[in-house]
């Protein structure tokens, strides 16, 4: 990549603003993951209900991505982004001031947090339109790396909940959201050129193209795996390895950090070697990691005298058994592959659908959210029905294998048609 040329094209204040917008939105979107450990204690939720409440924002984010993408095309990405941030801030203000006293209230907040998840359909098209085809992988990777917000959630939310109580977490979360809204309002700009307002007919037309469904499926594996694990792993580590809330949060932070930081790497690799070749290798790694996790045994529970007085007690980070660290390592490798897969998919999407990038970002992003919802729900069902998580991981290993077969089916056609005309490696 020609870094000098990259710095000279596009609009870096918008790229940075979109990254921050997506980052803090992602923090809000998945906050119920680590917070569920504390909410479920007060509300007395079953294991399946715990996984259910962390899955609701993911599904809501998937559902809102299409209307948010349409809104961005009608009123501009910047205005749509500002409106979405205000809705999320309003929901968090209510939860901070009045609390959540029932499962229904938690689910309603989850729906509002879905608007934060829909930021994907605004931030990525906003920056994509500023840059030429040869930089799409890197640009989309940088903007999409805002999903490192889940790292901050995993590190800070359990500690804040232990120290100040779970309700105060929403107040702390408001601080970065308000600051980023101000920065985004000042520095982000919509790309020049006339926008073509998107209607449902545009979505219907794109959905008639089989390539759309392939991209949606591939992203449901990569992004779905990332966001699903980011939301579900705090519960997994506390139930399967008996980690304390704070320890589980740090374990998850290590895992999702790998996925977040590797998204731009995936875009760079796809620009250099081709998105198809990169995705093939990554799907193999993802499938192997899921299979390995399915075979890992449950960790031992601490003795009664060892358990701390924490609100969510269990092994502290320094006390975790070796098998728990083995799981972190496997998840770390898998999250790296999932993160790079996210970047690789969005190197290909703008090349195939350059003029429909807003529509495609909404559709593909929605599919990613649906994948994350089903991963979290499937792990909950697996634990509730079988007493373990292996069945859930087996299912998603199989999906990665099917994704690999799908890539082998389409690669020749893609490379000899739109790939050959794109001017970039496919």
d(CA 166, CA 53): 15
Note the pLDDT tens digit of each residue in 327-346.
Answer: 999 999 999 999 999 889 98
Note the pLDDT tens digit of each residue in 253-296.
Answer: 999 999 888 888 888 888 888 889 999 999 999 999 999 999 99
Report the percent of the chain where pLDDT is more than 70: 94
Note the pLDDT tens digit of each residue in 52-74.
Answer: 999 999 999 989 988 888 888 88
Q: What is the pLDDT of residue 305?
A: 57
Contacts of 344 (CB under 8 A, 6+ apart): 137, 222, 266, 267, 269, 270, 275, 278, 279, 282
Three-class DSSP category at 243: strand
Report the percent of the chain where pLDDT is more than 90: 56
- The chain-wide mean pLDDT, for the chain, equals 89
Confidence of residue 10 (pLDDT cuts 50, 70, 90): confident
Q: What is the pLDDT of residue 6?
A: 66
SS (H, E, C) 111-142: HHHHHHHCCHHHHHHHHHCCCCHHHHHHHHHH
Three-class DSSP category at 315: strand
Instruction: Classify residue 417: in a domain, yes or no.
Output: no
Q: Which two tokens stand for residue 169?
A: 């977490």
| Total count of domains within the chain | 1
C-alpha dihedral sign at 351, 352, 353, 359: negative
Instruction: Name the DSSP letter for residue 2.
Output: -
Instruction: Classify residue 193: in a domain, yes or no.
Output: no
Instruction: Classify residue 230: in a domain, yes or no.
Output: yes
Domain that holds residue 155: 12-186+199-411
| pLDDT reading at 140 higher than 80 | no
Q: What is the pLDDT of residue 304?
A: 66
Confidence of residue 28 (pLDDT cuts 50, 70, 90): very high
Confidence of residue 420 (pLDDT cuts 50, 70, 90): confident
Confidence of residue 160 (pLDDT cuts 50, 70, 90): very high
Instruction: Classify residue 258: in a domain, yes or no.
Output: yes
Note the pLDDT tens digit of each residue in 349-362.
Answer: 888 887 787 788 77
Which one is predicted more confidently, 357 or 246?
246
Q: What is the pLDDT of residue 198?
A: 72
d(CA 186, CA 14): 10
Instruction: Classify residue 157: in a domain, yes or no.
Output: yes
CATH of the domain at 280: 1.20.1250.20
C-alpha dihedral sign at 285, 399, 60, 363: positive
Note the pLDDT tens digit of each residue in 366-398.
Answer: 899 899 999 999 999 999 999 999 999 999 999
d(CA 196, CA 74): 8
Instruction: Classify residue 380: in a domain, yes or no.
Output: yes
Instruction: Classify residue 6: in a domain, yes or no.
Output: no
Instruction: Classify residue 421: in a domain, yes or no.
Output: no
| pLDDT reading at 43 higher than 80 | yes
Which one is predicted more confidently, 87 or 358?
87
Q: What is the pLDDT of residue 92?
A: 97
């Amino acid at each position: 990549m020609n870094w000098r040329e990259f710095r000279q094209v596009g609009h870096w204040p918008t790229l940075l603003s979109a990254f921050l917008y997506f980052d803090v939105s992602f923090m809000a979107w998945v906050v119920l993951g680590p917070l569920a450990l504390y909410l479920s204690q007060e509300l007395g939720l079953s294991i399946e209900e715990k996984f259910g409440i962390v899955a609701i924002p993911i599904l809501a984010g998937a559902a809102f991505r299409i209307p948010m993408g349409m809104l961005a095309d009608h009123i501009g990405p910047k205005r749509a982004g500002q409106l979405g941030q205000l809705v999320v801030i309003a929901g968090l203000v209510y939860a901070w001031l009045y609390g959540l006293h029932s499962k229904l209230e938690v689910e309603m907040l989850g729906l509002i947090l879905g608007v934060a998840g829909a930021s994907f359909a605004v931030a990525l098209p906003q920056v994509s339109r500023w840059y030429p085809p040869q930089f799409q992988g890197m640009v989309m990777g940088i903007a999409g790396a805002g999903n490192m917000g889940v790292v901050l959630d995993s590190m800070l939310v359990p500690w804040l909940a232990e120290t100040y109580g779970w309700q105060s977490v929403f107040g702390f979360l408001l601080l970065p959201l308000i600051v980023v809204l101000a920065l985004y309002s000042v520095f982000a700009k919509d790309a020049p050129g006339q926008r073509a307002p998107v209607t449902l007919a545009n979505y219907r037309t794109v959905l008639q193209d089989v390539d759309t469904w392939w991209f949606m499926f591939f992203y449901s594996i990569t992004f779905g795996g990332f966001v699903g694990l980011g939301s579900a792993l705090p519960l997994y580590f506390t139930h399967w390895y008996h980690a304390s809330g704070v320890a589980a949060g740090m374990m998850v932070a290590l895992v999702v950090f790998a996925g977040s930081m590797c998204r731009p790497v995936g875009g760079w690799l796809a620009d250099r070697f081709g998105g198809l070749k990169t995705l093939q290798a990554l799907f193999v790694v993802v499938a192997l990691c899921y299979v390995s996790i399915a075979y890992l045994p449950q960790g031992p529970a601490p003795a009664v005298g060892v358990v701390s007085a924490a609100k969510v007690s269990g092994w502290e980070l320094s006390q975790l058994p070796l098998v728990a660290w083995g799981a972190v390592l496997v998840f770390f490798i898998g999250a790296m592959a999932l993160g790079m897969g996210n970047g690789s998919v969005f190197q290909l999407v703008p090349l195939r659908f350059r003029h429909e990038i807003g529509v495609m970002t909404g559709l593909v992003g929605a599919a990613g959210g649906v994948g994350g919802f089903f991963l979290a729900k499937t792990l909950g069902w697996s634990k509730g029905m079988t007493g373990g998580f292996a069945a859930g991981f087996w299912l998603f290993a199989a999906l990665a294998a099917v994704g690999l077969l799908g890539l082998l089916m389409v690669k020749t056609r893609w490379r000899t048609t739109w790939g050959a005309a794109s001017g970039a490696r496919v």
